[in-house]
Amino acid sequence: MSAFGKSLVIITIYILFMPVAAVYAQDAGTPDTVRIEDAAGSFNYDDPVPFPVSVSIYNDNDLNSIIIPLIVDGYSGWVRFDSVSYQDSRLSDPAVLDIREVYSYGSDMRTVDSLLLKFEIGTGNALPAGDGKICDLWFRPNYGGGVLIDSLPYSPYGNLTLSSSGGSFTPQFQAGALDISCAYMIGDTRPDGAINASDLLGLYKGYLGCFDFDFTDPWHADVNCDRYTDLRDAINLYDYIFKDSSDILCNCGSYNAPIYNDPGIPDTVWIESDILYVGKQDTISVGIINDENLRGFAFALEWDGDAILEYTDEIFNAPRLSADVFLNYYECNQDDMVNPDTMYAATWSYSEFNIPPGREAVLNFVVIPQSTGNLSFRFVGYYTHPTVLSIGAESMLVTENKEAILPVIAGGNIVVEPYLCGDTNRDGLVNISDAIWIVNYVFAGGDPPMPYEAGDANCDSVVGISDAVYIINYVFAGGNVPCFDC
């Protein structure tokens, strides 16, 4: 059974007329049988219409109690319980039932609800011998593919049991298969009946979290049918469109489990720890430590702490990546300057070039610190779409064979400090030692001011001997304070 889509539905139908015998008896005559009838449904992401699944019983003696525990195994498709009905069934006569109750125990977006159906028959009645439907279970499709409804061998609500005046016994059981078709085209993310470059853009922007880019729904975008929409789907769709790889798109219901394969040393995404300064535009570097060839990567980074960063929407390749080979970064972020804040970025190679094993930076993104403090970074996990499928903003490395690696994260301790214009040696004062620092930097190859802008006393965007003269005039001749004209 698959790890996803296994759903437990406990359907216990009590038709009570007299006490159930404590000892199981033999089923005399033709074996009584409980059947789940085969059924078909169609999944349309706009309006997933419920469809009925009939529960039938053949019995050659009057029955006064029925218990049917079921398991719903979504081995490739998904369904969710919606309701129960009795029209045109053997239990449709309202005079027969004194009490008709349906209990639902929770709702999981990936599974079917657990249910308990209870019926009590009025005095003098029973379910007579016969063959036919006792109720319809209505399921709402959540994913195309196949679903098997089978008997649950052991249940806390009771095992599969029929009871008559002669005692209780275990009937035969016939499982039912559900076939759910897909009323949409996989890969057509901006549904127009065709798959083209606009669908790739819709998928790419959509899964990064930029939902204003016409990302219609995650089902169209689940190109490899693993019930996630992530960077691998974008790469597969790119290859399908531009490399004429017709076998890449999956078929409705051909569920493929996600592949997370990282033999050897775990790959790591690192954030360079650094000191930034309030008001000074700077970069934060992101690197990868990998021991295999990579086709691409996606980062979903969230920072939190008591410092505020303004993200400038600028991002660029580090020297490790070739701008001629890798697609431009598509990125977006919350950028509301309220922590925690988030930045998403992804790229991949559109040729046969891969990122070889290494440990250097792969990208830099530009920020302007707005306040002092400390920041730490972490990965953001998947979004959960309100109708069951997960859309990825997850940090992921994709190998040259399109296998996914979920890396660990390291580093990312950012300290944001204030700076005083003219205080080139960072001792908190502006005096003659700061002018000497600039002279050493300009003429003797000494260290630059920290930060560089602190040495630009006359605001001409260059640190030179004129800045040292400006500071000397301020200290000894009552001149303007450094950066007075900025």
Q: What is the largest CA-CA distance in the chain?
A: 117
The whole-angstrom separation of Cα 439 and Cα 42 is: 77
Q: What is the predicted pLDDT for the residue at 476?
A: 92
Q: How confident is residue 332, by pLDDT bands cut at 50, 70 and 90? A: low
Which domains does the chain show, CATH number per domain?
A: 6-182 (2.60.40.680), 268-416 (2.60.40.680), 420-477 (1.10.1330.10)
CA quadruple 3, 253, 405, 346: dihedral positive or negative?
A: negative
**Do residues 140 and 48 make contact, with C-beta atoms less than 8 angstroms apart?**
yes
Above 70 in pLDDT, residue 98? Answer: no
Residues 6 or more apart whose Cβ sits within 8 Å of residue 388 = 78, 80, 109, 110, 142, 143
CA quadruple 472, 475, 477, 482: dihedral positive or negative?
A: positive
Q: How confident is residue 138, by pLDDT bands cut at 50, 70 and 90? A: very high
pLDDT (tens digit per residue) in 144-201: 888 889 887 777 777 888 888 778 889 999 999 999 888 888 888 877 888 888 888 7
Above 50 in pLDDT, residue 140? Answer: yes
pTM: 0.69
What residues are paired with 141 via a beta bridge? 79
Q: How confident is residue 3, by pLDDT bands cut at 50, 70 and 90? A: very low
Helix (H) / strand (E) element for 203: namely helix 197-208
**Do residues 311 and 186 make contact, with C-beta atoms less than 8 angstroms apart?**
no
pLDDT (tens digit per residue) in 188-218: 887 788 888 888 877 776 665 554 444 556 6
pLDDT (tens digit per residue) in 263-309: 778 899 999 999 888 888 889 999 999 998 898 888 878 888 998 88
Above 60 in pLDDT, residue 383? Answer: no
Pair of tokens at residue 87: 């029209």
For residues 282 and 318, which has the higher predicted lDDT (pLDDT)?
Answer: 282
The whole-angstrom separation of Cα 246 and Cα 292 is: 27
